[in-house]
């Protein structure tokens, strides 16, 4: 068994949009016994969202088999014990030229397709543990000094990295594209290249998911790629299923999902506990993978419908900028997908006296009745005529 080092559990706020350094903090918190095994056990025990999403029940129907989820992020560490065998390494599109993976991307991948380790006794398990993750590096970590030099807070060295990443993922078999980031090349206004890439990916059959942003209690800015049409924008809720204060509230929000005190894999083979819409978006990307695996024939729009219809704690009127359509739920989304995947009801049979009608035998009583009626009327006419002749 591969040991986890260092034996610490980190806690802090992970950026749901990778664009607001002012909201990010990381505090080292030692695990009581200080052993690597204890870290893995603590990580396993800390995944409160598994029950909230009803994942143990959902896994009876789907575990994400056969689905590739592209994680467009800071890169994913394929050597983390919880991700062994789950990662397909894609390109580094940042132009940074150093480092194939980062902690944030590794954390998001573990929420989607983490597989635990040591026979499932330790570590984190993702929403779709049988799915594959295609890692495409499109951004730098918040603490990267090259990022700090960029006055526009562009998350990558190359301004077109996200747009290229979306197209790459769509062209390389991604059924779901997860983007726990924001404020890309278009900053807060969006970008024509990114929007075109979103349309391209949807046209190729991919489901796109993005975090709504982490400045809901301050600027509450419009966040891209979440705001592009067709993208499932995800906000965050806490253990009480209450919207987190930092979660952005916008009229394009699709759903909310667990996003506070979330345990994830860390880039250095340890674990991190964090808050943010990043985690919520990765969680919903995992739900999309479950749906795609169970019903590969559903369109991106139908997958989105299944997720939005399969929510709990739906707001009054069915929608609000804070909750979207409600709190995402894996089991309910799969049930809605089952319903959407059923063949359309057979058209009603033609009416009795229109079109082809029923089988000929069913018309015999009617025809016989008409013949008897005609005979009776004929006899009545004859009798009446004779009566007139006799007068």
The pLDDT tens digits of the residues spanning 256-299 come to 999 999 999 997 778 999 999 999 999 999 999 999 999 999 99
Mean pLDDT of the region 8-31: 34
Q: Name which residue leads in pLDDT, 328 or 98.
A: 328
Mean pLDDT of the region 149-164: 66
Mean pLDDT of the region 245-262: 97
Confidence at residue 380, expressed as pLDDT on a 0 to 100 scale: 45
Confidence of residue 182 (pLDDT cuts 50, 70, 90): confident
Confidence at residue 33, expressed as pLDDT on a 0 to 100 scale: 36
What is the radius of gyration, based on Cα positions, of the chain? 29
Structure tokens at 143: 């603490």
Catalytic residue of the set 20, 73, 144, 160: 73
Confidence at residue 118, expressed as pLDDT on a 0 to 100 scale: 82
Mean pLDDT of the region 367-384: 50
Mean pLDDT of the region 145-158: 55
Confidence at residue 95, expressed as pLDDT on a 0 to 100 scale: 84
Dihedral of CA atoms 81, 86, 88, 89 in degrees, nearest 10, equals -20
pLDDT, tens only, 91-149: 999 887 766 578 999 999 999 999 988 887 888 999 999 999 999 999 888 777 666 55
Q: Confirm whether 278 is a catalytic residue.
A: yes
Mean pLDDT of the region 194-199: 97
Q: What percent of the chain has pLDDT over 90?
A: 61
pLDDT, tens only, 54-85: 999 999 999 999 999 999 999 999 999 999 99
Confidence of residue 352 (pLDDT cuts 50, 70, 90): very low
Confidence at residue 196, expressed as pLDDT on a 0 to 100 scale: 97
Q: Confirm whether 218 is a catalytic residue.
A: no
Confidence of residue 338 (pLDDT cuts 50, 70, 90): very high
Confidence of residue 7 (pLDDT cuts 50, 70, 90): very low
Confidence of residue 372 (pLDDT cuts 50, 70, 90): low
Catalytic residue of the set 82, 92, 104, 254: 104
309 with 337: CB under 8 angstroms?
A: no
Q: Confirm whether 338 is a catalytic residue.
A: no
CA-to-CA dists, residue 21 to 26, 89, 155, 214, angstroms: 11, 27, 11, 10
Confidence at residue 374, expressed as pLDDT on a 0 to 100 scale: 59
Q: Tell if the pTM clears 0.95, that is, is over it.
A: no
Catalytic residue of the set 191, 247, 278, 279: 278
């Amino acid at each position: 068994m591969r040991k986890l080092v260092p034996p610490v559990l980190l806690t802090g706020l992970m950026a749901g949009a990778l664009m607001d350094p002012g909201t990010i903090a990381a505090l080292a918190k030692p695990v009581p016994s200080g052993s690597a095994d204890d870290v893995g056990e603590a990580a396993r025990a800390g995944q409160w969202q598994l029950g909230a999403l009803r994942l143990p029940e959902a896994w009876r129907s789907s575990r994400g088999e056969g689905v590739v989820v592209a994680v467009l992020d800071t890169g994913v560490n394929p050597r983390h014990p919880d991700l062994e065998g789950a990662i397909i390494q894609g390109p580094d599109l940042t132009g940074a030229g150093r480092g194939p993976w980062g902690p944030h991307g590794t954390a998001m991948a573990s929420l989607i397709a983490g597989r635990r380790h040591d026979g499932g006794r330790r570590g984190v398990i993702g929403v779709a543990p049988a799915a594959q993750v295609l890692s495409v590096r499109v951004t730098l970590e918040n603490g990267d000094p090259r990022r700090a030099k960029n006055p526009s807070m562009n998350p990558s060295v190359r301004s077109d990295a996200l747009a290229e990443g979306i197209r790459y993922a769509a062209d390389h078999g991604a059924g779901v594209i997860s983007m726990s980031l924001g404020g890309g090349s278009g900053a807060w206004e969006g970008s024509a290249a990114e929007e075109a890439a979103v349309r391209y990916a949807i046209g190729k059959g991919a489901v796109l998911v993005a975090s709504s942003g982490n400045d809901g209690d301050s600027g509450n800015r419009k966040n891209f790629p979440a705001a592009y049409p067709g993208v499932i924008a995800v906000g965050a809720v806490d253990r009480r299923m209450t919207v987190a204060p930092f979660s952005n509230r916008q009229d394009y929000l699709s759903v909310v999902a667990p996003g506070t005190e979330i345990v994830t894999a860390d880039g250095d083979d340890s674990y991190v506990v964090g808050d943010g819409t990043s985690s919520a978006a990765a969680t919903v990307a995992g739900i999309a993978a479950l749906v795609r695996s169970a019903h590969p024939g559903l369109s991106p729009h139908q997958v989105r419908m299944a997720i939005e219809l399969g929510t709990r704690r739906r707001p009054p009127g069915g929608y609000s900028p804070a909750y979207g359509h409600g709190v995402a739920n894996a089991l309910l989304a799969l049930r809605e997908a089952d319903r959407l995947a059923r063949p359309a009801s057979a058209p009603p049979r033609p009416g009795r006296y229109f079109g082809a009608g029923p089988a000929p035998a069913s018309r015999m009583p009617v025809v016989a009745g008409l013949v008897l009626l005609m005979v009776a009327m004929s006899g009545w006419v004859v009798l009446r005529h004779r009566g007139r002749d006799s007068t």
